Amino acid sequence: MTPLVRSFPVFTPVADHSLLIEFGDLIDHRIHARVMQLDRALAAHPFTGFVEAVPAYTSLLLRFDPRSTDHAIAEQAARRLIEDVAATDAGTGLREVRVCYDDEFAPDLQAVAKACSLTTEQVIEAHLSGQYDVFMYGFAPGYAYLAGVPELIRMPRKSAAMRGVSAGSVFIAGQQCLVSTITMPTGWWILGRSPTAILTGDPDKPFLFDVGDRVVFRRITRTEFDAEASQ
């Protein structure tokens, strides 16, 4: 039997107040660019009853007020904006995250190196070379999912999670990279730790990143880490 091929975008009603718009089914920068184009178009040209848009890896959840509009009107408005937006880069800003790869902060660095047939320095170089974009937020406050881990060091998630992983830990799994903002368990591979503040304390801009931003990692020494972490 020939598998069913989905034609994107796909529009799916969610409850009585939302519409899920899917642009694809895999992690891909071009797909996410379309998500962000619609997100920005809705912010610039909201339709009557529009409440908010929540972008993710491959989809956007469009919330509206059911007292003033419905799924059909929301879909019509979204389709019109999708047709109108130009295929441009969705990035909005460049953010730097400093990271220390010393052994104390990188309990999985040697395991990743062994699994990938690399030295630890080659793993670090590969991680630093990645082209990372903020695809979505989820799971915990300020928990930004970055895509762009080089194929050379992509690892599946661990079979068991490690508990008590410190805030600021930088870890990877598959194409994804994260900088933790709280002490928490993780089944991802911990490569280092960052003193860069992701939670800003600013109620108008609570997180360092916006979805769509480009993130670069810069290597620092333990002395630099301690100096910044003490500020």
pLDDT of 1 above 60: no
- Per-residue pLDDT of 86-125, as tens digits, reads 544 444 689 999 999 999 999 999 999 999 999 999 999 9
Residue-level pLDDT at 89: 46
**What is the token pair recorded at 208?**
């360092």
Q: Measured between alpha carbons, how far is 36 from 55 in angstroms, rounded to an integer?
A: 7
Residue-level pLDDT at 92: 65
21 pLDDT band, cuts 50/70/90, is very high
- Per-residue pLDDT of 178-222, as tens digits, reads 999 999 999 999 999 999 999 988 888 889 988 889 999 999 999
Residue-level pLDDT at 88: 45
Residue-level pLDDT at 47: 94
Q: Measured between alpha carbons, how far is 174 from 2 in angstroms, rounded to an integer?
A: 29
- Per-residue pLDDT of 128-161, as tens digits, reads 999 899 998 888 888 899 999 999 999 999 999 9
Strands 94-99 and 214-219: parallel
- Per-residue pLDDT of 34-54, as tens digits, reads 998 999 899 999 999 999 999
Task: Collapse the DSSP code of 169 into the 3-class scheme (helix H, G, I; strand E, B; otherwise coil) and give the result.
Answer: strand
pLDDT of 3 above 60: no
Residue-level pLDDT at 192: 98
3-state SS, one letter per residue, for 188-207: CEEEEECCCCCECCCCCCCE
- CATH architecture for the domain at 10-84: 2-Layer Sandwich (3.30)
Backbone dihedral angles phi then psi of residue 193, each to the nearest 5 degrees: -140, 145
Are 172 and 153 in contact by the 8 Å Cβ rule? The answer is yes
Question: Domain 94-229 maps to which CATH number in 2.40.100.10, 3.30.565.10, 1.10.260.40, 3.20.20.70?
Answer: 2.40.100.10
- CATH 2.40.100.10 in the chain: give the residue spans: 94-229
Q: Measured between alpha carbons, how far is 42 from 30 in angstroms, rounded to an integer?
A: 19
Q: Measured between alpha carbons, how far is 110 from 188 in angstroms, rounded to an integer?
A: 14
Entry pTM: 0.78
